[in-house]
Amino acid sequence: MKYKRILLKLSGEALMGNQQYGIDPNRLSDYAADIKNVVEKKVQVAIVIGGGNIYRGLQGTSEGMDRVQGDYMGMLATVINSLALQAALEKTGVKVELLSSFQIGPVSELMSRRKANEYLEEGRVVIICGGTGNPYFTTDTASVLRALEIEADVFLKGTRVDGVYTADPEKDSTAVKYETLSFDEAIENELRILDLTAFTMCKENNLPILVFDMNIPNNLEQVLEDQTIGTLVTNS
C-alpha cells in the first residue's frame, strides 16, 4: 500500500443507498467490509462522515432556521451516522474508537490529536464526529482539519462518482475524467471538489486529495494500490 495512514471522508447522502432518507443497512455493511479489508492490510484509517442524509444545516437556513442552530443540528446528524458505522465495523470484528468534537459522554470520547494517534497506532479505526464543533464550518473543512491533525498521508473523498470530471458526468455525457489534477488547475477550472476553505487548507498544507467511487465493492482497497483509479489532486 502506498499510504500508511488515511483520512476517509464519506458523505451522509452516500449512506442512504437507494433510499430517500436515513441509512441503508446494506450500504453500511458494504462500507464496513471495504474498510475492514484495508485495516487488515495494516493501513491506519480515520473516518469523517457528513450528516446530509439526516439533516443539513444550510438546508435549514434556507427554510428559515437560525444558521447556528441549524449547524449544530447537522453536527448531531454526523454523530448518528458515525455511531451506525461504528456498529457495522464492530460487527465485522474491527476495533473502533469514536471521538467527538464536543462532549457526548455516554457514546464517545472528546477528540484530541493524541488520542486519535494512539488509537491509530494500535490498529483501531478512528471515527471522528461532530464536525469542527463550531457552526459555519462544513464537514469537508472538519475532515481536512482532522486529516492534518493526525498527519494523514492522503485525504480520500469517497463519492458515487469515480473521480473528478470537467463537468457533472451524471448530467453531461461529454464530461471527461481527470486522472491527475493540480490544485491550481482545479481552482482555475472552478472544479468544486471540496468547499473552498477545505480545499485551500489541503493546498496550503500539501495534503493530496484522492477522489474515487466508494460504491464499487473493494474499491477502497484498489484505490490505495492503483493510482490510476480515481483522481489524484496535488500541488505538483
The Cα-based distances of 86 to 28, 79, 136, 193, 208 in angstroms read: 10, 10, 26, 26, 26
Inform me whether the pLDDT recorded for 35 exceeds 70.
yes
Residue-number span of the structural domain to which 161 is assigned: 5-234
The predicted model scores a pTM of 0.94
Q: Which of 126, 127, 223, 144 is nearest to 183 (CA)?
A: 144
Q: What is the CATH number of the domain that holds 175?
A: 3.40.1160.10
Higher local confidence (pLDDT), 14 or 98: 98
Confidence of residue 17 (pLDDT cuts 50, 70, 90): confident
Domain count along the chain: 1
Question: Which segment of 15-24, 30-39, 52-61, 94-103 scores lowest on mean pLDDT?
Answer: 52-61
Which residue reads 464492530 in cell numbers? 90
Confidence of residue 226 (pLDDT cuts 50, 70, 90): confident
Inform me whether the pLDDT recorded for 38 exceeds 70.
yes
Tell me if 146 sits within 8 A of 3, measured CB to CB. Answer: no
How far apart CA 188 and CA 184 sit, in angstroms, is 6
Q: What is the pLDDT of residue 7?
A: 98
3-state secondary structure of 83: helix
pLDDT tens per residue, range 52-97:
999 876 666 677 788 999 999 999 999 999 999 999 999 999 999 9
The type of residue at 7 is L
How far apart CA 166 and CA 185 sit, in angstroms, is 11
3-state secondary structure of 159: strand
Tell me if 125 sits within 8 A of 96, measured CB to CB. Answer: yes
Which residue reads 493540480 in cell numbers? 182
Q: What is the pLDDT of residue 57?
A: 65
Q: At what angle do helices 25-40 and 67-91 cross, to 10 degrees?
A: 60
Which residue reads 464519506 in cell numbers? 10
DSSP H or E stretch at residue 149: helix 139-149
List of residues 6+ apart from 193 with CB closer than 8 A:
157, 164, 186, 199, 209, 211, 233
How far apart CA 154 and CA 224 sit, in angstroms, is 10
How far apart CA 222 and CA 235 sit, in angstroms, is 23
Q: Which of 166, 139, 169 is nearest to 155 (CA)?
A: 139
Burial of 44 (0-12, 13-18, 19+ CB in 10 A): buried
